[in-house]
A = this chain, B = another copy of it.
Amino acid sequence: MRGMEHWLTKRAYLTPDNIAIELSNGETLTFAQLYERACEFASKLYTVHQNGHIAMLSNNSSDMVVAFWACTYLNVPVVFLNTRLTAREWQIQCEDADVKTVIFSDQYKEDVQQLTFKAYPFSEIHSFRSVECTLTTDMNLDSVCSMMFTSGTTGRAKPVIHSYHNHWSSAVASALNLGLMPSDKWLACLPLFHIGGLSILFKSVIYGMPVYLLERFDEEKVHRALMEHNVSIISVVAVTCSRLLERLGDEYYPTAFRCMLLGGGPAPKPLLEKAKEKRVPIVQTYGMTETSSQIATLNEAEALRKLGSAGKPLFSASLQIQVDDTTAEPNQVGEIVVKGSMVTTGYYRREQANQEAFRDGWFHTGDLGYLDEEGFLFVVDRRSDLIISGGENIYPAEVEEVLLSFEGVQEAGVTAIEDSKWGQVPVAYVVANEQVTADQLLVHCRSRLASFKVPKQIYFRDQLPRNATNKLQRHLLKS
C-alpha cells in the first residue's frame, strides 16, 4: 500500500487558518473549518451509508465540498452524477457503479424519488446525530477515490475510476507546469461533478490554496471575481471563455490574474486571437476524465508562437501519436495515446472497454492529433464522433439509441452542427415510418436524455450514409 496522511487532515494541520473556500457572497471556510465539517458530516453519514459506493447529486456548493471530503474520511468511493441528466440516466449510472446510497442537495428531492436507491438530502444528514466511527487517517493512494461517467462510442456511459494517486499526480503535474504562488486563488465555475471542477478541490487542499467557488458559470459573477477578488487562475471552456471576453469589453484583467486554463475541447482560433489582443493569459490544455484533467498544457510563454496547440505533455505524463500501433512521424496525424500516473486505472467493471483502451501500457484516447517538429500537440479532432456542447460531452450513439427505441424509427444518425453559443449542438438524421413526426421524437428524447443532448433539429431521410460493412458514416450525414 502506498500511503499518505489524509490530505485534508494534513492541510488543516499545516495551515489551519488559511482560506479553503470563498463564496461569491463573501462567506469563507478555512481549512480547519472544512476539516471539522467534513469529519462531522462523515460521522453522521456513517449511520446511513451501507457498504457500497455513494452517489453524489449536487451543483457546486460548500455543502457539496464538505460532503465529498466526508466520504473520503469514510473511505467510500464517490460516484459523481451530472445534475443535467434525467432520473433515468442517474438510475442506470448508479446501477453500473454499484451505488448503494445517494446523497444530494435538497433541490433534487423530487427528481430523486424516481430512483430505486436510498437517497438522503444534505439537510437530512446534517440533522442526524454523530456516531463514533473510525475516520481515515492514512489514505491508501491506490484505492478508489471517485468515479465519473464518460460516454463511449458504445453509447452507454462508462464509469471512470480515479484513485487518490491519480488525483495526487494530476495536482502535482499541474503545479510543476503552472507554478505555485503563495497568492494563488483558483476560481471554480465548472461543475464539481466534472473532472475539470473536481480537480480544483484537490489542488486547493494539496497546495493550501483558496478556491473561489461559484454554483455555476455566471458571466457577471465570474467577471467581477476576476476583476476584484484577486483570482489568479480560472478553468474555462471555449464557450465561457468567449462570453468572458465579450463581457471584458474595453477593460483589462488585473495582473494578479495569471492563467485562464482553457480546456474541454478544441478552441476556435478567432477566440485565441481575440484573447491575445486583450492580453488575456490563455493557457490551452488537453485532457479528459480519463486523465484526471490536464495531460498536456501550453505555457503562456508559448501561447502566441504556438497558437492553437495544446502544448506538451505534463512532466510526469507521456504522450504519443500512434498510427497502426506505431509511433507517428512529426506532423503526421494519428491517435493520441497517453501514459502517466494521472491516467485512470480503468473503467469500473468494463473489461472489454479496458482491453480496448489500454494496450502496452498506453491509454488510447480515440482523439486525433499530431505533434509538430518541436513536440507541441495539436488536437485535430476529439474522438471522431464526440460532440462537445458548452463543455459537456455528447456521444451520438447514446442519442441514436434513444431515437431508435421509438416505435417506427428504423435508422438514426446524430452529428454536430456549429453553434455560436455552445460551440456545437447535436442534430439527428432519421429513417422512419411516415407516421413518425419530429415533435414526437423530441418529446421522446426529452423524457430520456439531458436537455443538452436532445437534438436541436431532426431531419428525415430515406437512407443514411453507410460504408461497405454497413457502418454508419456520421461525418457524411450532413452532406
Contact = CB atoms under 8 A, between A and B. Distances in A.
Contacts of A438: none
A206 B176 contact: yes
A181 interface: yes
Interface string A438-474: 0000000000000000000000000000000000000
**What interface size band does chain A fall in?**
20 to 34
A256 to B, nearest CB: 14
Contact of A175 (B5, B180, B375): B180
Given A316-B4, A318-B5, A179 B180 contact: yes
Given A4-B316, A10-B315, A315-B10, A176 B175 contact: yes
Contacts of A180: 175-176, 179-180
A206 B172 CA distance: 11
A13 B179 CA distance: 18
Contact of A181 (B4, B179, B341, B375): B179
Nearest to A181: B179
Interface string A289-321: 000000000000000000000001001101000
B182 A179 contact: yes
A14 interface: yes
A358 interface: no
Nearest to A11: B315
A176 B312 contact: no
A240 B98 CA distance: 60
Interface in A142-187: 172, 175-176, 179-182
Interface in A1-48: 2, 4-5, 7, 10-11, 13-14
A241 B397 CA distance: 66
Nearest to A312: B14
A207 interface: yes
A391 to B, nearest CB: 27
Contact of A13 (B312, B340, B341): B312
Contacts of A375: 13
A312 B13 CA distance: 9
Contacts of A179: 179-182
Interface string A373-386: 00100000000000
Contacts of A316: 4
Interface string A203-240: 00011100000000000000000000000000000000
Contacts of A181: 179, 181
23 contacts: A2-B341, A4-B341, A5-B318, A7-B315, A10-B315, A11-B315, A13-B312, A13-B375, A14-B312, A14-B315, A172-B172, A172-B176, A175-B176, A176-B180, A176-B206, A176-B207, A176-B208, A179-B179, A179-B180, A179-B181, A179-B182, A180-B180, A181-B181
Q: Give the 3 A-B CB pairs with smallest separation, nearest first.
A: A180-B180, A179-B180, A5-B318
